[in-house]
Structure 1
Amino acid sequence: MIRKSNKKETTFQVAQFSAIGVMNALIDIGTLNLLLFFWYTDNNEILLLFNTIAYTLAVTNSYLFNANLTFRKKASKNKKELIFFCIQAIVSLGISNLVFIGGVALLGFFSIPIFVQNNIAKGAAMFLSSTASFFFMRYFVFRRNVSKAD
């Protein structure tokens, strides 16, 4: 059974994580669209590179804000935590890249402008990778036990 304070804390963490997620989404999709604006491509390898650059900027922002806000009571900001964060970021990047390229390929069957296809695929990739990222951060990265006095 979840204690009321844990439920309240979880709800607050989800709200903070979501707000930071909106900021990350703006960085992520903004960077992707900026790269595509200057160097338009429909080449999957270049799209993967652009997605990886955009994701990396967003995930760096995510670590800084989540370690200092959302999970600050559990964040130790040590080397081990940073390594775990990087592991979850790589797994989440894999999810993001698979969903993005899969979405682009799937949407290619429809008569939708490529710009729209890329943004729909990117939106799905951001949603699924950020959902996975939250659970990784909550239960794997920032899992240090907090004393009852906190």
Structure 2
Amino acid sequence: MFSALEVVTVVVVGVMVGVEFSVAFVVNPILNGLPDDSNQLGRAHGGRMLGALMPFWYVGSLVLSAVWAIAGWHRPGTGLVVLAAALLIVSVIMSLLLLVPINNRGKTWTPENRPGDWKEQMNRWDRYHYVRVAVLIAAFALLAAALT
């Protein structure tokens, strides 16, 4: 049963990392290459869609990692799992303090009501997101290393 917990945790976190990596390095660059109205509408739609899903995924990943750390407290690799969980906490805090406020504004914008600095705000979101992706990759790497 413990092995199943390890595998499920690594898969859930790994897929989340893949989605966030794709947003950073595939989806947003594609949107940025579109005309402003299409770019902004795509980002607003993505903000609504992923904004509804990601809180559960982030918290679920953190809970799985915490359960793994607690259940395997005396097993080898637990320190790596604890570090991974700490990084997942950092990613949640970053999200709540830095990314969610921008996303909550951006997901309501249309070409008619967006502010004049909307591109600057999206660029700020992108920069914060790059850092968050790096934190998530580190957490994933630690969880994968804890399996060995």
TM-score with structure 2 setting the length: 0.38
Q: Which has the higher helix share?
A: 2
Larger RCO of the pair (alpha carbons < 8 Å, separation 6+):
2
TM-score with structure 1 setting the length: 0.38
